[in-house]
Amino acid sequence: MPAPEFARTLTGLTVNLLVRDVPASVPFYTEVLGLRLLYGDEDFAALEGPGGWHMMLHADHTLDHSATETARLSERGKRGTGAEIRILGLDPDEVEARARARGFTINVATQTFPHGWRECRLEDANGYMFAIGVLPG
């Protein structure tokens, strides 16, 4: 389902990340986080998480219509600095193990935090930060 068609199906909150290389980025989301790939090509990927929420990946050049956005994308370094995408309901021990096996950066190993989540914090290949956790019990 190409991006324009997929866009018409969305409701509520959806996460859209701009990435340097869509095909190279997809394995983190499918193999590490366990999201379901609904569609993917060189420019766009649509993913679905447990409970039916959606995440999209767009290649940087798909937003070349805006000079402001293009300038921000050309900066080197990690993407999304200052933002953390929190996903509740994925087993952090399993996610951390899959991420380590595939060479992804683990920022905080799985542990139970005072706020109640058992979670790990890790990065995708673009530097986007994720907190993956469950409520113990």
Q: Over the stretch 8-50, which tens digit does the pLDDT of each residue have? A: 888 878 899 999 999 999 999 999 999 999 999 999 999 999 8
Q: Whose CA is closest to 45, among 33, 36, 58?
A: 58
* Band of residue 70 on the pLDDT scale cut at 50, 70, 90: low
State the pTM of this model.
0.86
Q: Over the stretch 114-123, which tens digit does the pLDDT of each residue have? A: 988 999 999 9
- For the ranges 4-8, 54-58, 110-114, the lowest mean pLDDT is seen at 4-8
* Band of residue 65 on the pLDDT scale cut at 50, 70, 90: low
Residue 17's CATH number = 3.10.180.10
The boundaries of the domain holding residue 73 are: 3-134
Contact in structure between 90 and 117 (CB atoms under 8 Å) = no
Number of domains observed in the structure of the chain? 1
* Band of residue 61 on the pLDDT scale cut at 50, 70, 90: confident
Dist. CA 93–CA 132, nearest whole Å: 9
* Band of residue 125 on the pLDDT scale cut at 50, 70, 90: very high
